[in-house]
Structure 1
């Protein structure tokens, strides 16, 4: 089974199947990183993030350190992977209750991706886009990229009403799967 299938399983909330994939592949946080296994290692990070309880204990610190190691390994060459890793770091910070860290990583990702017109990774970001949207509606943060969030009924955004649009990609998808 491939890492692509494992990502689909994660989107379908089949964490156990994705964890079986990671065990079968023999992937670990301590692996030596290489370009050939980059996508698999980023997928492993997604599996671990979905299984993680949000506590910044040893498991949370190891996950964040792994993401930082991956980011260092891809720095300066593969914008898509760099952006995805920053978004995953933002998710770790957000789940740990570190909103400032989450927003800082999200802003870094947006600033790097904007010149290249990257939008898909943000549109698929789900919860990270929810952070962006909530801060944007509150007037506390404005993303530097031309990603806009559609109209929301009522004062508090509801996931079922959020729509993220990227004019360059001509995409209109729900932000948080709602």
Structure 2
């Protein structure tokens, strides 16, 4: 084997390693995104059930509370009014998105982040005891206030308003509270 042949083999191996590394990253990100979106769907469904069980509204608040990711919506907390004290109290633990996953802050793709809850918190809505929500029933043609889109953080900022190649969207029906994951 000559030196030229050896260099050609090394070049081919490095190209193949580079391509497989990129594909592995995309595969891992896709798996993390799917896992996070499914967990979020389960959390929201649980909150809807809590509203029925407690016979009072459960407020869902989306938060930008991670100092390592300033300005990114990266967690969710459920709250309910305590009948004894009359104040809102958190229900359960703070739900954090995966380390490299964030909500896409865009009215077209995550309109819920722009809604105001009954307690005045920006970025949320409520599940009501009879199964409905506080989400708008009628909305503008170019926005969907009843959805949330999750993306890997590496796609931020999104400049042209289009969805990145890796994304998952949750849509919440305003009347029934049904959550659909796309």
TM-score normalised by structure 1 residue count? 0.30
**Is the radius of gyration larger for structure 1 or structure 2?**
2
TM-score normalised by structure 2 residue count? 0.29
Q: Which has the higher strand share?
A: 2
Greater RCO, 1 or 2 (C-alpha within 8 Å, sep 6+) = 2
